[in-house]
Amino acid sequence: ELFAFFLENGFRSVAFNIEEAEHVHRETSLESTTRAELVEAYTQFFDRLFDLWWPHRHTFEIREFTDLAKAFQMYRADESYHHQPIETRPMAILTVTRSGDVSTLSPEFADYENVPQYANFVIGNIMDVSSLDELAHTSAFQRITQEAQVSVDMCRHACGFFWVCGSEFISNKFSEHGTLRATETRTCALHRKALASLLIEKIAAKGKLKQSQGD
């Protein structure tokens, strides 16, 4: 019904998010479900969605499928490739609150309180600097970005799907683990690992079908 609704109403693209533990939203409706149960339910949903979408793939975009398909193509062309999410690049994202406080990496870090180890994720105040470049020299900026880089390195060495993720969902790591020095989150377990595993299987099956048909 959901997919039919998209087609019947002329949608050209859609994207799916899962409920995340972020900032003040510390608990989700998924807390009572085991990780294995979540992965199974998630995989079943996207397995069916993929089959419905495939005949319409040239005219209807599902972000989760097209983004990973592009990553697969990049990796096949160059095995040293890995996704580099903007939220892991210092100063690539700057969020300014109404009080002038500036945070980086992820917009979800804005307006945090009681996080002394990361200075509440405030790297400076816009009213106290004459150039944004000055923010990159504050102790808070150095601490936060160093910890984020440690997180990226941890994922690089621990996860077989680093190439497709690149240590994404940095704010989820803090929300779920209380530190940036963390690896797997609920979002990456589903939206990256489970989905990538499913798509690799589905696309490989499509390739075998083409070969058997002589296409």
What's the pTM value of the predicted model, to 2 decimals? 0.83
Give the burial string for 134-161 (b: 16+ CB within 10 Å, else e): ebeebebbeebbebbeebbebbeeebeb
Q: Is it the case that residue 25 has pLDDT exceeding 70?
A: no
Q: What angle do CA 101, 104, 106 make, to 5 degrees?
A: 115
Helices (H), the chain: 2-8, 35-53, 63-77, 139-158, 162-165, 170-177, 186-188, 195-213
Q: Encode pLDDT of 39-58 as tens digits.
A: 999 999 999 999 999 999 99
Comparing 75 with 47, the larger pLDDT belongs to 47
Place of tokens 């996860």: 159
Mean pLDDT calculated for residue range 185-196: 92
| Cβ-contact 186, 30 below 8 angstroms | yes
Share of the chain above pLDDT 70, in %: 92
* Strand, helix or coil for residue 12: coil
| Cβ-contact 138, 94 below 8 angstroms | no
102/98 Cα distance (integer angstroms) = 10
Q: Taking the mean position of all CA atoms in its chain, how far away is CA 80? A: 20
Q: For residue 123, give both structure tokens.
A: 């790297």
| Cβ-contact 95, 123 below 8 angstroms | no
Confidence band for 29, pLDDT divided at 50, 70 and 90:
low
User: For the chain, what is the mean pLDDT?
Assistant: 90
